[in-house]
Structure 1
Amino acid sequence: MTNKTPAGSYTVMNELVLPNDTNTLGNLMGGRLLYWMDIAAAMSAQKHCNRMVVTASVDNVSFKQPIKLGDAVMIEAVVTRAFNTSVEVRLDVWAQNIPSNTKIKSNEAYYTFVALDQNNVTVPVPELHPETEHEKQLYDGALRRRQLRLILAGRMQPDDATELKAFFVDRE
């Protein structure tokens, strides 16, 4: 199985916020943005895995800035770490008002995908080899985020979360 870098999974998706995408305040509906984010993240995960993938989890998504009617939305997605049969994908969401030439970061999130074969059975995914310092930081943090996800899903006991415990224990 070929090892890959984050750059190979980098995906950019652009959408224009139209009236049907907004609530009564003229802001992009959160559900529509989550839908777009899921598509961008799935494309990134598929690039890394060269397989069909399914969404396994979505981390906390906080909407920091509203996205307005007429804004262009840019979603950047990249695989941050590969585990046995799953990958973590980071998303950064930007809103751009093209006439005023302003751009704001709306939010970021992490999605997890599982790779499947033609019989919908999970399969191993290629290893990820981060290259830049930023990629290495995201890679290192992915294990802590994964352990937190597993604890919250009831699939791991907090005492077994070695990476999380190490993060909170005093290092003398």
Structure 2
Amino acid sequence: MTSPGKAVSESQVIMPQRMLPQDANPAGNVHGGVILKMIDTAGSIVAMRHCRTSVVTASIDRMDFIKPAFIGEVIIIKASVNYAGRTSMEVGVRVEAEDLITGEIRHTGSCYLTYVALDKNRQPIQVPPLLLETEDDCRRNREAKARRESRLAEKHRERASQNETRAC
């Protein structure tokens, strides 16, 4: 049985973490892989809060690293459900870096992840509908629907290309 729906605000996450020397890449900035792990952790928490079941990461779309983050700063991951389909959800993530000395907060990256809800047998299960509360929720939902259509079209093109019998 499907629930009547869940509001975006019921599953949102704001996850801060101070970056330490072990989080550095060879250039001395926060390693992109460290940020990606934090993004997936926050995203999965949001998805599980929305559906109250296990989830699996199905895809990560367009991770844009806009500005570097530095050791000693606090990385703030903000995540929320943008779209809920039948068994999957798109979670939008914004990454910010805060300089604790100056108080400056910079937008350092953004991405979108798709999670699939799983039942106890690790099979896809229906997720609750998404209840949109604000104009921002509605905008993010519209944009997520457009991204979903683009992802599906791209998958279709890739499968068609793989099925072509002509050689390169």
The aligned runs of 1:92-171 (5 Å cut-off) are: 92-154=94-156
Partner residue in 1 for 2:32:
30
Describe the SS at the equivalent of 2:26: coil
Q: Deviations over 1:143-166 (max 9, x none)?
A: 110111122333799xxxxxxxxx
For 1:82, which of 81, 84, 106 is the aligned residue? Answer: 84
Describe the SS at the equivalent of 2:45: helix
Identity of aligned residues (%): 35
TM-score by length of 2: 0.89
For 1:7, which of 6, 9, 14 is the aligned residue? Answer: 9
Structure 2 unmatched ranges of 5 or more: 160-168
Partner residue in 2 for 1:170:
none
Structure 1 unmatched ranges of 5 or more: 158-172
Q: How many correspondences in the alignment?
A: 158
Partner residue in 1 for 2:58:
56
Partner residue in 2 for 1:44:
46
CA distance in 1, matches of 2:37, 2:76: 13
Please tell me the residue identity of whatever aligns with 2:35: L
Q: Which consecutive aligned stretches of 4+ in structure 1 deviate over 6 angstroms post-superposition?
A: none
CA distance in 1, matches of 2:150, 2:19: 33
CA distance in 1, matches of 2:63, 2:44: 17
TM-score by length of 1: 0.87
Residues 150, 156 of structure 1: 8 Å contact kept = no
Q: CA RMSD in A?
A: 1.6
CA distance in 1, matches of 2:157, 2:125: 20
Please tell me the residue identity of whatever aligns with 2:121: N
CA distance in 1, matches of 2:134, 2:102: 33
Residues 12, 76 of structure 1: 8 Å contact kept = yes
Q: Deviations over 1:43-86 (max 9, x none)?
A: 00000011100001100011110000111000011001100000
Residues 116, 123 of structure 1: 8 Å contact kept = yes
Q: Deviations over 1:66-114 (max 9, x none)?
A: 0001110000110011000001101011000101211100011110000
